[in-house]
C-alpha cells in the first residue's frame, strides 16, 4: 500500500462547509457526552453509596460495568457501521445513550444502576471512534489535522472535566444530575445528526462470531482484572487469577484466529500499514501515562494535601487550557514541520510535566500543580492530534470505521493498564517506604532528632500520630517515584518514531505508508 495524505481521504466527499460545521458540532457533542461519563461518576460514588445502600466493593461495579461494556463493544461498532450504515449506528447509539442516562438517574437500587451503566457503555462505545471516522470523511485531507484537533480536544477534555463537573453537580444539586446532564446534550446531538449527517452505503460483511467472541471475552476479562485487581490484592485472589487466565487464553485464540481466518473480525489489512501500527503503540503508551496521571493526582491532592474534592478538580482544569492552546496551532504545524519532530516535542513536554509532578512536596500550594497540568496539556495537544494524523493519513477510507474502533480500543486498554499499574506501584511503594522509614525511628533516634518527637513514643495516641505521619511521608515517596517511572516510559517509546515513513522532499514531511 502506498500513497499520500490526499489519497487517504479521497474516497469520501467533504460536503458543504456549513454542513461540516453542523456535523462536527453534533458528533462532538455526542462523543464528549460519552467521554464525560468515563470519569464524571467517580466523584459521585460516595453519595450514590449512601443513597443506594451499597458497600464500597459493590460501588466499584458502577464504574467497572461501564468500562467493561465500552471495551467489549468498541470493536463491534466498526463492523456495524459498515454492515448497517454509519448514520443509523451513530444515531441509535446517541438515542440509546441518552435514554439509558435518564434511567441511571432514576435508579433506585444498586442492581439497577449497575445494569443501566452497562447498557450505557454498550450504547456509547461507538460514539468516539465513529465521530473520529466521520470527521475524517467530511473534511478534505488538507483539513484533517485541524479536524482532529477539534476531535482530540473533545475526547481528552471530557475525562479531565468529568471530576470537576461531577463534583459541582453532586455538591450543589444531586448525584442523579451526573446522568441527567446527558439528556439535553443527547437531544441536541440527535437533532443535529438527523438534519445534517449523510448516510454511508451499507456493505455486506460477514460476521466473524468466533473472532468477536474471543476478543470480547479477552478484553472483558482483562478489564475486570485491571479494575478489580487492586481491590482483590491482585494474584493472591482466585478471581483475579481466573480473569488473567481467561484474558490470556482468549486473546491468544483471537490473535491466532485473526492471522489464519479467511475473513477475520478485524481485517489484517489495517495492520499492513506501518504508520497505523506505530500510531496504536504510541496511543497506548500515551493513554497509559496521561490517564494514569489524571487518576493519581486527585487522591494525592485530597488524601495527602487535604484539598476539597471540587478544588482538586479545579486544579486539573489548566490541562484543558494548555491543550486548547496547543491545538490552536498544531493543525497549522502539521504540513510545515516534520510530524516526527512534533511527536518528539509532544512526548517530551508530557514527560517534562510528569517530571515536575515528581518534585511536588507537602509544603507547596496549588499553583505549581496547576502549572504542571498546563504543561501536560500543551504536550497532549501536540501529541494527540499528530498521532491521529500519522495513524490515519495512509489508511484507506474503507478501513476507517474499523481502524478508528481499534485505535480507541488500544487507547482504552493502555489507559486501564496505566491506571492499574501505577496505583499498584503506589501501594507497593508506600508499604516499602514505610518499612524503610520505620527502621530509623526508635525512642533514641527520635529524641535525638527532636525531643517532642521522642515524647510521642511513650503513649498509644502518640504512636498512632507518629505512624500517620510516617505513612503520609511514605505515600509521598511512592507517588513521586511513580511519576519518575511514568516519565521514563514516555521517553523510552520515542525511538519508535524512527519507523514512521514520511514523504521526502517536502517541507511538511507528511506521513506516508510503506510500499
3-state secondary structure 191-248: HHHHHHCCCCCCCCCCCCHHHHHHHHHHHHHHHHHHHHCCCCCHHHCHHHHHHHHHHH
CA 397 – CA 392 distance, rounded (Å)? 9
| pLDDT beyond 90 at 483 | no
CA 251 to chain centre: 21
| pLDDT beyond 60 at 464 | yes
Residue 362: pLDDT band with limits 50, 70, 90:
confident
CATH 1.20.1250.20 is the classification of domain 273-515: yes
What does DSSP assign to residue 361? Answer: -
- State the cell numbers at 454: 521522642
Closest by CA to 278, choosing from 380, 395, 381, 376, is 395
- The pLDDT value given to residue 358: 84
Contact 193, 90 (CB under 8 A): yes
Report the chain's mean pLDDT, rounded to a whole number: 77
CA 337 – CA 506 distance, rounded (Å)? 9
| pLDDT beyond 60 at 256 | yes
Higher pLDDT, residue 465 or 238 = 238
| pLDDT beyond 90 at 249 | yes
Which residues lie below 8 Å from residue 264, measured CB to CB, with a gap of 6+? 208, 211, 257, 258
Closest by CA to 413, choosing from 244, 243, 286, is 286
- DSSP per-residue string spanning 342-379: HHHHHHHHHHHHHHHHTT--TT--HHHHHHHHHHHHHH
CA 101 – CA 192 distance, rounded (Å)? 19
Which residues lie below 8 Å from residue 313, measured CB to CB, with a gap of 6+? 43, 163, 164, 165, 166, 167, 168, 298
Contact 401, 329 (CB under 8 A): no
Angle between helices 17-36 and 182-196 (to 10 degrees): 150
- The pLDDT value given to residue 4: 34
| pLDDT beyond 80 at 131 | yes
The predicted model gives 262-267 an average pLDDT of: 79
- State the cell numbers at 203: 456493505
| Rg of the chain (C-alpha set) | 24
Closest by CA to 228, choosing from 239, 219, 217, 218, is 239
Range of 82-96, 142-156, 289-303 with top mean pLDDT: 82-96
Q: What pLDDT digit, counting tens, does each position of 92-129 carry?
A: 999 999 999 999 888 888 888 888 988 998 888 888 88
- The pLDDT value given to residue 441: 67
- The pLDDT value given to residue 195: 83
CA 361 – CA 359 distance, rounded (Å)? 7
CA 373 – CA 447 distance, rounded (Å)? 41
The predicted model gives 208-233 an average pLDDT of: 82
Which class for 60: exposed (0-12), middle (13-18), buried (19 or more C-beta within 10 A)? middle
- State the cell numbers at 75: 470493536
Poorest-pLDDT segment among 149-163, 190-204, 476-490: 149-163
CA 74 to chain centre: 13
Beta-bridge partners for 502: 511
Torsion-angle region of residue 335: left (phi > 0), alpha (psi -120 to 50) or beta?
Answer: left
CA 28 – CA 152 distance, rounded (Å)? 10
Which residues lie below 8 Å from residue 10, measured CB to CB, with a gap of 6+? 141, 397
CA end-to-end span of the chain: 5
What number does CATH give the domain 1-200?
1.20.1250.20
- The pLDDT value given to residue 502: 63
Question: Residue 295: helix, strand or coil by DSSP?
Answer: helix
Amino acid at each position: 500500500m502506498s500513497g499520500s495524505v490526499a489519497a487517504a481521504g479521497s474516497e469520501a466527499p467533504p460536503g458543504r462547509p456549513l454542513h461540516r460545521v453542523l456535523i462536527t458540532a453534533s458528533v462532538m457533542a455526542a462523543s464528549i457526552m460519552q467521554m464525560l461519563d468515563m470519569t464524571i461518576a467517580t466523584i459521585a460514588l460516595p453519595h450514590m453509596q449512601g443513597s443506594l445502600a451499597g458497600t464500597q466493593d459493590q460501588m466499584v461495579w458502577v464504574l467497572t460495568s461501564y468500562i467493561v461494556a465500552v471495551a467489549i463493544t468498541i470493536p463491534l461498532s466498526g463492523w456495524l457501521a459498515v454492515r448497517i450504515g454509519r448514520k443509523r449506528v451513530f444515531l441509535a447509539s446517541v438515542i440509546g445513550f441518552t435514554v439509558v442516562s435518564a434511567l441511571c438517574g432514576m435508579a433506585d437500587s444498586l442492581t439497577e444502576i449497575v445494569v443501566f451503566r452497562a447498557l450505557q457503555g454498550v450504547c456509547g462505545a461507538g460514539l468516539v471512534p465513529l465521530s473520529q471516522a466521520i470527521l475524517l470523511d467530511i473534511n478534505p485531507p488538507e483539513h484533517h489535522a485541524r479536524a482532529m484537533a477539534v476531535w482530540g480536544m473533545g475526547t481528552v477534555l471530557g475525562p479531565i472535566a468529568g471530576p470537576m463537573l461531577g463534583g459541582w453537580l453532586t455538591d450543589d444539586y444531586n448525584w442523579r444530575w451526573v446522568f441527567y446532564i446527558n439528556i439535553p446534550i443527547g437531544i441536541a446531538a440527535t437533532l443535529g445528526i438527523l438534519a445534517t449527517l449523510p448516510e454511508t452505503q451499507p456493505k455486506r460483511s460477514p460476521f466473524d462470531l468466533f473472532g468477536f467472541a474471543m476478543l470480547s471475552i479477552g478484553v472483558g476479562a482483562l478489564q475486570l482484572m485491571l479494575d478489580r485487581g487492586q481491590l482483590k490484592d491482585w494474584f493472591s485472589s482466585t478471581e483475579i487469577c481466573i480473569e488473567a487466565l481467561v484474558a490470556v487464553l482468549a486473546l491468544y485464540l483471537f490473535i491466532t484466529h485473526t492471522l489464519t481466518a479467511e475473513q477475520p473480525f478485524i481485517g489484517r489489512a489495517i495492520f499492513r500499514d506501518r504508520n497505523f501500527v506505530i500510531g496504536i503503540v504510541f496511543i497506548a503508551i500515551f493513554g497509559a501515562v496521561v490517564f494514569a496521571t489524571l487518576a493519581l493526582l486527585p487522591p494525592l491532592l485530597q488524601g495527602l494535601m487535604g484539598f476539597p474534592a471540587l478544588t482538586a478538580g479545579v486544579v486539573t482544569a489548566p490541562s484543558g487550557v494548555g491543550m486548547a492552546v496547543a491545538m490552536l496551532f498544531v493543525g497549522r504545524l502539521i504540513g510545515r514541520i516534520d510530524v516526527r519532530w512534533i511527536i518528539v516535542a509532544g512526548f517530551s513536554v508530557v514527560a517534562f510535566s510528569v517530571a515536575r509532578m515528581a518534585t511536588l512536596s507537602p509544603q507547596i500550594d496549588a499553583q505549581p500543580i496547576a502549572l504542571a497540568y498546563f504543561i501536560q496539556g500543551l504536550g497532549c495537544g501536540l501529541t494527540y492530534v499528530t498521532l491521529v494524523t500519522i495513524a490515519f493519513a495512509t489508511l484507506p477510507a474503507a478501513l476507517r470505521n474499523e481502524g478508528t474502533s481499534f485505535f480507541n480500543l488500544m487507547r482504552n486498554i493502555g489507559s486501564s493498564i496505566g491506571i492499574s499499574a501505577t496505583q499498584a506501584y503506589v501501594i507497593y511503594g508506600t508499604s516499602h517506604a514505610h518499612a524503610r522509614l520505620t527502621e530509623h525511628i526508635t525512642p533514641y533516634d527520635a529524641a535525638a532528632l527532636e525531643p517532642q518527637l521522642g515524647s510521642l513514643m511513650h503513649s498509644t495516641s502518640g504512636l498512632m500520630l507518629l505512624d500517620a505521619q510516617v505513612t503520609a511521608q511514605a505515600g509521598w515517596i511512592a507517588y513521586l517515584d511513580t511519576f519518575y517511572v511514568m516519565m521514563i516510559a514516555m521517553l523510552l517509546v520515542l525511538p519508535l518514531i524512527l519507523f514512521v515513513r514520511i514523504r521526502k522532499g517536502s517541507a511538511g514531511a507528511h506521513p506516508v505508508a510503506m510500499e
